[in-house]
Structure 1
Amino acid sequence: MLSYQHAYHAGNLADLHKHALLASALDYLTRKDKPLSYIETHAGRGLYDLQSEQSRKTGEAATGFARAEAEGWLPRDHPLLRAVANVRAVHGPRSYPGSPLIAAQFLRFEDRTHLAELHPAEYEALRQVAGFATLHARDGFQVAQAVCPPTPRRGLMLIDPSFEVKDDYAAIPRQIALIARKWNVGAIALWYPILTDHRHMAMTATLAIQFPDALLSEVRFPPARQGHGMLGSGMWVLNPPWGLADEAKRIEAIFRDRA
């Protein structure tokens, strides 16, 4: 299925959770004078307009990143806020970066980036803003299997599916196991939604058995609007960079106090 478009949801509270951890991880990884690989299996379009018709229709950005920014949820020097400020300096104050452009604010010339996006319209939009990366108009898990282990071997992969199909929850642990077998030193991050039926729980239970030392971070928040089924956001990270577990605790505390 290719109906999902993140423009309706960009900058929501789930993005705040996911992107705060992603930016923190990349900020740490790029402090070392060693090249890395960055891989995304479901990259999206890379750049969003928070005043677009899609964004205003759902109101998720207004109750998400915009609210957090106005209320000062994150410290001013947080890596995510720095990344957003850099993107807005180029693309204007209404813009919000997806994960590819957040990553681009930290990645260096010697780093290597692979971005996969199967949706034709989303891929074309991504192509306009992601000249720094090798782009793949293919299934993201096929790309992950093809490029792993990457060169350089040090690095991070973000798996951020739409979860349009319930079978995704059963398939993802198998995919991660295959990737981790090929790339045992890579940080592998999985984002997932927490929905009213808690369908993610079987998936995270399987991952906990397979990878008992992985980081699990979950936050809860009210539905963005009446009838909206997402109640929270989860990030699971295999081989998390140093300090990410502490950052996850800080982000979780912010959501408990503010959301």
Structure 2
Amino acid sequence: MNYRHTFHAGNHADVLKHAALLELCDALCAKPAPLFALDTHAGRGLYFLNDPQAQRTQEAQGGIGRFDGATAPAPLRRYLSAIAACRRAHGLQSYPGSPWLLAHALRAQDRIACCELQPDEATELRSRVGDDPRVGVHQRDGYAAMRALLPPRVGDERFNRGLVLIDPPYEAQLAEYDEAFSALREAMGRWPQATYALWYPIKTRRALQSMYRRAATIPARSVMVAELLVRRDDSPLRMNGSGLLLLNAPWKFDERLRALLPALTQALGEDAGAGWRMDWLKAPE
């Protein structure tokens, strides 16, 4: 695998993914019982937008860069306050990855496992979050970790509630769904009460129709999609938006998305094709 997220840190897909991730953490933390979070494709945990690789693509300018000096609309204040906290700790050019955000949003009684297969990225991740006693870093395949680490147990403690974030690089493009869905089905059998979030890119929506049909058959209590388009989804050559497939979303989480997604569309949209979608593929009973 050759993917390096540094090229894409802070882009519009990160903004959607990370804003929704924080909302998921807050919704799950509304109950006092401890949580376990598994980040299957964690990356290095912290990025710097003045890194030569990030500067080469300038993707952050169409994502987090849109908020520089702007007044934050209410639905985005939670996300932007987390970015501000990261920058107070690590400098104005820093941008947090999902491991940093999970550690920021979750509580002392919660536990986090972060998986990263690439040795250099895993080493960097350990340097960023390894001193946090709540966080375990595993240099291993994230899909295999879903089979090995679920249901979660840390010492003598078992966790009935939690979150699994699956954020693969899609180097195999649509073939990635075969492995992701196989791991999701097995994980649901092991830990059916958890919330699962699978991020996916959108180039042309028609290419995703098969994924939607397959997702609706997963034996979860509910299946929903939350999507953000920053431009028309009419080109297979670039990422025009992205989405999250959510299994067992927290109660009334759709209300949070209906506030968040229009605010993101207004902030990040690039042309008349920009828009958002929140839809149930399998509504809760």
Which TM-score applies when normalising by structure 1?
0.91
Q: Please name the residue that 2:211 is paired with.
A: 203
Equivalences for residues 227-246 of structure 1 within 5 A = 229-246=238-255
Q: Please name the residue that 1:30 is paired with.
A: 29
- What is the distance in 2 between the residues matched to 1:49 and 1:228? 26
Contact 1:27 1:106 in 2 (8 A): yes
**C-alpha distance 209-72 of structure 1, shift in aligned 2 (>3 A):** farther
Q: CA deviation at 1:28?
A: 2.2
Report the identity percentage. Answer: 36
- Amino acid of the structure 1 residue aligned with 2:62: T
- What is the distance in 2 between the residues matched to 1:57 and 1:227? 22
Greater alpha carbon shift after TM alignment, 237-246 vs 185-194: 237-246
Q: CA deviation at 1:58?
A: 0.8
Gaps of 5+ in 2: 153-157, 270-285
Greater alpha carbon shift after TM alignment, 89-98 vs 29-38: 29-38
Q: Secondary structure at the match of 1:10?
A: coil
Q: Secondary structure at the match of 2:55?
A: helix
RMSD: 2.1
Greater alpha carbon shift after TM alignment, 138-147 vs 211-220: 211-220
Equivalences for residues 174-213 of structure 1 within 5 A = 174-196=182-204, 198-210=206-218, 211=220, 213=222
The structure 1 residue matched to 2:230, chosen from 213, 218, 221, is 221
Q: Please name the residue that 2:257 is paired with.
A: 248
**C-alpha distance 17-76 of structure 1, shift in aligned 2 (>3 A):** closer
Aligned length: 256
- What is the distance in 2 between the residues matched to 1:34 and 1:189? 20
Contact 1:44 1:117 in 2 (8 A): yes
Q: CA deviation at 1:228?
A: 5.6
- What is the distance in 2 between the residues matched to 1:106 and 1:71? 23
Q: Secondary structure at the match of 2:159?
A: coil
Contact 2:222 2:249 in 1 (8 A): no
Q: Please name the residue that 2:149 is paired with.
A: 147
Q: Please name the residue that 2:155 is paired with.
A: none
Q: CA deviation at 1:197?
A: 7.3
Gaps of 5+ in 1: none
- What is the distance in 1 between the residues matched to 2:69 and 2:209? 33
CA shift digits 1:153-177 (9 cap, x unpaired)? 2110100000101321222212111
Greater alpha carbon shift after TM alignment, 125-134 vs 242-251: 242-251
The structure 1 residue matched to 2:172, chosen from 161, 165, 175, is 165
Q: Please name the residue that 2:137 is paired with.
A: 135
Contact 2:8 2:59 in 1 (8 A): yes
Which TM-score applies when normalising by structure 2?
0.83
